[in-house]
Amino acid sequence: MRSKGTTSRLHKIRSVTRLRVAIFICGLFLLFMPDVHWWHPEGENRFMVYLDGNPMGTVDDAAKAETMYRDARRELALAWQGMSFMQLPELTTSGEELIQGSIDRENDVKNSIKAAISAELSEGYSKAYSIKVGETMVSVAGADEAAKLLQETISEYDTGGDFKVDLVADHSRELNVLIPRVQKAEEIEEDAPVLSLGGGAAITDDEENWEIEDEKTGFDSFEYGIEEMGFSENVEIVEAYLPDDSIIDYEEARAQLTDLQELKQIYKVKSGDTLSKIALEVGLPLDEIIALNDTLENENSIINVDQELLITVPEPELSVIWTETTRDDEVFDLPTEYIYNDEWFTNKSETLQQPSAGYHETVSQIKRKNNEEQSREVLYEEVGVEAVAKVVEVGTMVPPTYIKPLSGGRISSGFGGRRSPFTGAASSHAGVDIATPTGTPIWASSGGVVVTAGWCGGYGYLVSINHPDGRQTRYAHLSKIYVSVGQYVSQGQVVAASGSTGQSTGPHLHFEMRIGGVAYNPMDYVNLY
Topology of the domain comprising 320-397 = Resuscitation-promoting factor rpfb fold (2.20.230)
Which one of 169-178, 211-220, 236-245, 506-515 scores highest in mean pLDDT? 506-515
DSSP 8-class letter at 182? E
Give the integer Cα–Cα distance in Å for 27 and 63.
30
The burial of 59, by beta-carbon neighbours within 10 Å (0-12 exposed, 13-18 middle, 19 or more buried), is given as buried
Q: Where are the domains of the chain?
A: 46-123, 129-255, 260-315, 320-397, 410-524
Class for the domain spanning 260-315: alpha beta
| DSSP secondary structure, 367-398, as one string | EEETTEEEEEEEEEEEEEE--B--EEEEEEEP
| CB proximity list for 264: less than 8 A, separation 6 or greater | 292, 310, 311, 312
pLDDT at residue 127 tops 90: no
- pLDDT tens digits, one per residue of 25-68: 555 444 445 555 655 566 778 899 998 888 989 998 889 889 88
Task: Give pairs for 370-377: CB < 8 Å, separation 24+.
Answer: 370/157, 370/315, 370/316, 370/319, 370/320, 371/157, 374/321
What is the DSSP code (8-state) at residue 438? T
Pick the residue with more confidence: 114 or 152?
152
Q: Which residue has the higher pLDDT, 333 or 204?
A: 333
pLDDT over 80 at 341, yes or no: yes
Q: Are strands 84-85 and 125-133 parallel, antiparallel or unpaired?
A: unpaired
Q: What is the pTM of this model?
A: 0.51
CATH 2.70.70.10 fits 410-524, yes or no: yes
Evaluate whether 148 touches 155 at the Cβ level (below 8 Å).
Answer: no
Mean local confidence (pLDDT), 365-385: 93
| 92 vs 50: CA distance, rounded Å | 5
Residue 212 CB contacts under 8 Å (≥ 6 apart), including other chains: 200, 201
pLDDT digits (tens, 9 = 90+) for 418-464: 887 777 788 889 999 999 999 999 999 999 999 999 999 999 999 99
